[in-house]
A and B are shown apart, each in its own frame.
Chain A
Amino acid sequence: MSASQSVKKIIEINPYMLGTMAGGAADCQFWHRNLGVKCRLHELANKRRISVTGASKLLANILYSYRGMGLSVGTMIAGWDEKGPGLYYVDSEGGRLKGTRFSVGSGSPYAYGVLDSGYRYDMSVEEAAELARRAIYHATFRDGASGGVASVYHVGPNGWTKLSGDDVGELHYKYYPVEAEVVEQEMAELPVT
């Protein structure tokens, strides 16, 4: 985001489902909010929470119906339902993929590199959060269009919680602290005669 360094890129659809933002900010915000409304209507009509599969399909179908009209949305829907954790990638071309890890946006190839090399399905929450933070940091380091704050959320059986929100600049010095340089030669001042 070049306009602002403090944009919220993780959208809280409801207490147990999150959406990420990549592409057009307005499109993402609007359609995630709209998805939240549809999920709530589903709950009211069916007396049970909507599954992550269902929610992602609702969004994918909406975006598909607008294909070719210039929407720009690259999002991941993450949540917890009766089948456990669910993660879907949905975009404005109508694509919808179920998976265990995704990376979206201009910095996504950089993030994939770090994510793939450190990923195991049976990681602990702390390990996973640190891996995610690292992946965002490294993507931001190399990608000019990425920056700002690295937010990490955890989605569990009781919903999501925000784990951290670190400024990426500060993360840089935490991972790569400045070391005192060994001075090889110092300029000496000539004594004044």
Chain B
Amino acid sequence: MESVFGLVGKDFAIVAADSSAVHSILVHKTNEDKIMLLDSHKLMGASGETGDRAQFTEYIQKNVALYQFRNGIPLTTAAAANFTRGELATALRKNPYMVNIIMAGHDKDVGPSLYFIDYIASLHKLDKAAFGYGSYFALSMMDRHYRKDMTVEEAIDLVDKVIMEIRSRLVVAPPNFVIKIVDKDGAREYAWRESIKDAPVPAV
């Protein structure tokens, strides 16, 4: 089962997700990137049904880009999160998207923010959030060790502790994780945590 979690720090937000693509008992891929860059200052980590996850997050990404093209300015994180929730809610009673989303962003006026959006379209602005079986470990660990205004090192340390815990305690634990960060300088990949490396491919 897929794990996604995230937290807000002093002037940044971090989202981490597992990177295995699974079908029933088979692991097709161990380095699948489930955290999408919505725009220069927004991240969206998603977990859920295969097709829905990729397709819905791309749909949101393209609509966020469209807004910027049309209006000349980017959406705020709050606006993007509410738009996403609206799309989930509209589809819910007919053709629901089975995707859980953690959206993180950095705005000049507000600073870093994190939004929890689940597949039945509930939206919460939070300091820390988690989805999946990994959330059983992530939430309590973050509740215990999280403080407001953590530095990047402290936050990554907490993220690593959570990843270790998921790896050791979850019965079908994903071996690899990707961590992405967003701050005033933008959204970017921070690190991969891989305990299973695929056969090495020479850099192109």
Contacts and interface: CB of A to CB of B under 8 A. Distances in A.
B32 interface: yes
A121 B202 contact: yes
Given A95-B54, A97-B32, A121-B202, A108 B26 contact: yes
A95 B202 contact: no
B143 interface: no
A122 B54 CA distance: 31
A39 B32 CA distance: 26
Contact of B28 (A61, A93, A97): A97
27 contacts: A61-B55, A63-B51, A64-B51, A64-B55, A68-B95, A83-B204, A89-B28, A94-B50, A94-B51, A94-B52, A95-B21, A95-B23, A97-B21, A97-B29, A97-B32, A99-B28, A99-B29, A100-B198, A100-B199, A102-B28, A108-B26, A109-B26, A112-B26, A120-B199, A121-B200, A121-B202, A122-B202
Nearest to B31: A99
Contacts of A67: 51
A112 B51 CA distance: 23
Interface in A76-96: 83-84, 89, 91, 93-96
Contacts of A94: 49-52, 54-55
A95 B74 CA distance: 30
Interface of B: 21, 23, 25-26, 28-29, 32, 49-52, 54-55, 95, 198-202, 204
A96 B202 contact: no
A119 B50 CA distance: 26
Contacts of B50: 91, 93-95
Contacts of A91: 23, 50
B30 to A, nearest CB: 10
Contacts of B199: 100, 119-121
Given A89-B28, A99-B28, A108-B26, 18 more contacts: A63-B51, A64-B51, A64-B55, A67-B51, A83-B204, A93-B49, A93-B50, A94-B49, A94-B50, A94-B54, A94-B55, A95-B50, A96-B54, A97-B32, A102-B28, A109-B25, A121-B199, A122-B202
A122 B201 CA distance: 8
Contacts of B198: 100
Contacts of B202: 121-122
Interface of A: 60-61, 63-64, 67-68, 83-84, 89, 91, 93-97, 99-100, 102-103, 108-109, 112, 119-122
Nearest to A63: B51
Q: Which 8 A-B pairs have the closest CB atoms?
A: A94-B51, A95-B50, A93-B51, A64-B51, A121-B201, A93-B50, A97-B29, A97-B21
Contacts of A120: 199
Nearest to B21: A97
Contacts of B54: 94-96
A30 B170 CA distance: 42
Nearest to A92: B51
A45 B51 CA distance: 28
A192 to B, nearest CB: 64
A94 to B, nearest CB: 2
Contacts of B55: 61, 64, 94
Contacts of A100: 198-199, 201
Nearest to A95: B50
A121 B52 CA distance: 31
A27 to B, nearest CB: 15
A108 B51 CA distance: 20
